[in-house]
Structure 1
Amino acid sequence: MPTNWQTGLEKTLTLIVGGLVVLALTWALTGLLRRYAVHKQLMDIPNARSSHKVPTPRGGGVAIVVVALAALPVLVWLGALTEAAAYGLGGAGALVALVGWLDDHGHVAAGWRLLVHFTAAAWGLYWLGGPVDLTFWGWTLPGVWLWAPLLVYLVWLLNLYNFMDGIDGIAGVEALTVCVGGALLAYWAVPGANVMLYVLLAVGALGFLLWNFPPAKIFMGDAGSGFVGLWLGLLSIYAAHQAPVLFWGWVILLAMFVADATVTLFFRWLRGEKLTEAHRSHAYQHRAENWGHKGTTLFYGFVTLMWLLPMARWVVLGGVEPIVGVVLAYAPVVFLVYQFGAGIRHVEWDEY
């Protein structure tokens, strides 16, 4: 195993060459998966609850899964990742992707999916070193008390990512912007921070996005969206082990997806709707009817980079108490998705 990973020049060269390889492989594999999906008739057929109008192949997110998992042993060999972290990310991601792939090809009962999701989250959290102690207002919350909240957090991120993957490009743009933001936060907060994992997922998302950007030629599918959602959550835990304050930065970066999905779920729950049923009541779905898929997707990415990233930077550099920073970052985002109609039934939105 190389011993000089710490040198700045080798880091830069590895990031550039590795990034180009991951980009090329993900792009090529997504194209192959599209051909496979067309051949096997694995298509999303538009219906009254869909945001697309033409049958479109699904399952392209498997390319991100395969390339990301294959990259883990390479990162271990380079000395850029511990074996424990590779076990955690690889095992958790593979488990979620497998149940998602089975669901894409048939149907897996919601209860069994949820059991697998919690198992994968626990596996990943354990091998990444468990929760770190979090300090705010001079008070330290021991990590041992955070196991249950973080498992719920990880499973919610995993599932909300699936909920939010409903228009062309939005899931890929979210992964790309959040991971780029996470890499910048680590660079600002921790001199010499290892950002290889963040770059890996960002570039993998970009390779898929070349096929999925509006108008999409293939959709991500449950295997890919579940994998990406869980990895984003696990990367926030990984970042917390680099510096605990980075966890709050990642929570802020994820605000557009978290706020849209959570506000939507809350209002659907208030109306007594079955939460596992397909619907068109997310804020992004309402906006897509007026702005189109491209306009809505770019807007979500714009807010992440132009509002959430500066707020996250303010927090990680110590400019504001983390909890205060999270509230200040989320408040306008929650108001925004509410104004966009998050949780409002489609028929109500037409009358709004």
Structure 2
Amino acid sequence: MVWWLLAAVFALALVLTGLLRKYALSRGLMDVPNARSSHDVPTPRGGGVAIVLSFLAVLPFLGASNGLSSSYLISLSGAGALIALIGFLDDHGHIAARWRLLGHFIAAAWALYWIGGMSPVEAFGFLLDLGWFGHILAATYLVWMLNLYNFMDGIDGLASVEAICVCVGGCIVYFLSGHGFSVTPLILALAVCGFLYWNYPPARIFMGDAGSGFLGITLGILSLQAAWVSPDLFWAWLILLGVFIVDATFTLVRRLLRGDKVYEAHRSHAYQFASRHYGAHKPVTVGVVLINLFWLLPLAACLVKFKLDGILMLLVAYVPLFLLALKFGAGSLEEKK
């Protein structure tokens, strides 16, 4: 491991975010508050590009110093770059939803081709090879991950601290599983840390679709790649991603059942209701960190350390999160809150 890469990716993201903030201010690329916003002050957007550029810039050095397979690096860089490009163009103008979705599935297919698709999954003690159905599920999972990350990037610092917690947690569970140390998630976490300096409440710049989509699909690829190392690692990653998966999925399903137009902007995620309830973003962002550190990470660690059943542990992890989403009214009509 070349440890200087950690300092380099952090410094690069830190500096690039500052430069992007100046660029956004000069070009008027501002997120202006409206009835669907969770902020009150016009704020520059698009800072997540710094995460993308920093992470992709160090990947070749990471591969050379740590012996990562070229197919793994091609999967991460190709899919991540395409999603970031789509998000960047959408941040600067507008791309029709159908073309965005097509691009998302192309990126997912690219990623799965290079990592070998969906690995066999372990459930209730049985190892199941789902074949082509598994690959379709994996592509849908990647597309949902990148979109839900965009949905969940709605208050200061939230998407950043979630990515950091999940990546650091991924490194820990990888090590506890007996497969050594996975440095790729740590590199991503340091890139996000450089951005978080500017994004922590009160945020001086927002991530934008380029950054949030990139994080979503990259975390999805990391989780699917971990499954090839050990099936229980995939369940551990799903546990670590629980806060975002549960809030976004619960909200989407509830709005679908009510007949809402789910492609329209809204403020009905649990974290958005919670931020309005507490009158600030910081308590919610810090609360997500605490949930990750003191609930989800210990469960994921126990899963891999003691070889527990993945589905059972996932249910244990998610049930309180669903109850929390229900408590804050995830997916309910905003007028009722």
TM bucket (normalised to shorter chain) is over 0.9
- Does the CA-based 8 Å contact 1:100-1:223 persist in structure 2? yes
Whether 1:181 and 2:169 are equivalent positions in the alignment is: yes
Cα distance in 2, alignment partners of residues 19 and 241 from structure 1:
25
Residue 32 of structure 1 is aligned with which of 3, 19, 35? 19
- Does the CA-based 8 Å contact 1:61-1:220 persist in structure 2? yes
Residue 56 of structure 1 is aligned with which of 25, 43, 53? 43
1:306-345 → structure 2 map (5 Å cutoff)? 306-345=294-333
Give secondary structure in 2 for the equivalent of 1:108. Answer: coil
Q: In the comparison of the two structures, how many residue pairs are matched?
A: 335
The residue identity in structure 2 corresponding to 1:327 is L
Match of residue 290 from structure 2? 302
- Does the CA-based 8 Å contact 1:248-1:316 persist in structure 2? no
- Does the CA-based 8 Å contact 1:280-1:345 persist in structure 2? no
- Does the CA-based 8 Å contact 1:190-1:242 persist in structure 2? no
Match of residue 91 from structure 2? 104
**TM-score between the two structures when normalised by the length of structure 2:** 0.97
Whether 1:23 and 2:14 are equivalent positions in the alignment is: no
Q: Quick one: percent identity of the two aligned structures?
A: 52
Cα distance in 2, alignment partners of residues 122 and 190 from structure 1:
30
Whether 1:218 and 2:205 are equivalent positions in the alignment is: yes
Q: Which runs of 5+ in 1 are unaligned?
A: 1-10
> Once the 2 structures are TM-superposed, how far is the Cα of residue 75 of structure 1 from its aligned partner?
1.4
- Does the CA-based 8 Å contact 2:117-2:138 persist in structure 1? no
> Once the 2 structures are TM-superposed, how far is the Cα of residue 21 of structure 1 from its aligned partner?
1.0
> Once the 2 structures are TM-superposed, how far is the Cα of residue 316 of structure 1 from its aligned partner?
1.4
1:1-352 → structure 2 map (5 Å cutoff)? 11=1, 14-15=2-3, 17-144=4-131, 145-193=133-181, 195-291=182-278, 292-349=280-337
Cα distance in 1, alignment partners of residues 55 and 300 from structure 2:
26
- Does the CA-based 8 Å contact 1:265-1:275 persist in structure 2? yes
> Once the 2 structures are TM-superposed, how far is the Cα of residue 249 of structure 1 from its aligned partner?
0.2
Cα distance in 1, alignment partners of residues 286 and 229 from structure 2:
30
Cα distance in 2, alignment partners of residues 51 and 72 from structure 1:
34
- Does the CA-based 8 Å contact 2:5-2:58 persist in structure 1? no
The residue identity in structure 2 corresponding to 1:331 is V
> Once the 2 structures are TM-superposed, how far is the Cα of residue 319 of structure 1 from its aligned partner?
4.6
Give secondary structure in 2 for the equivalent of 1:190. Answer: coil
- Does the CA-based 8 Å contact 2:63-2:70 persist in structure 1? yes
Cα distance in 1, alignment partners of residues 53 and 260 from structure 2:
36
Cα distance in 2, alignment partners of residues 37 and 132 from structure 1:
41
> Once the 2 structures are TM-superposed, how far is the Cα of residue 318 of structure 1 from its aligned partner?
3.3
**TM-score between the two structures when normalised by the length of structure 1:** 0.93
Query: In angstroms, what is the RMSD of aligned CA positions?
Result: 1.1
Cα distance in 1, alignment partners of residues 45 and 154 from structure 2:
12
The residue identity in structure 1 corresponding to 2:30 is M
- Does the CA-based 8 Å contact 2:6-2:187 persist in structure 1? yes
Give secondary structure in 2 for the equivalent of 1:69. Answer: helix
Cα distance in 2, alignment partners of residues 259 and 34 from structure 1:
32
The residue identity in structure 2 corresponding to 1:76 is G
The residue identity in structure 1 corresponding to 2:121 is L
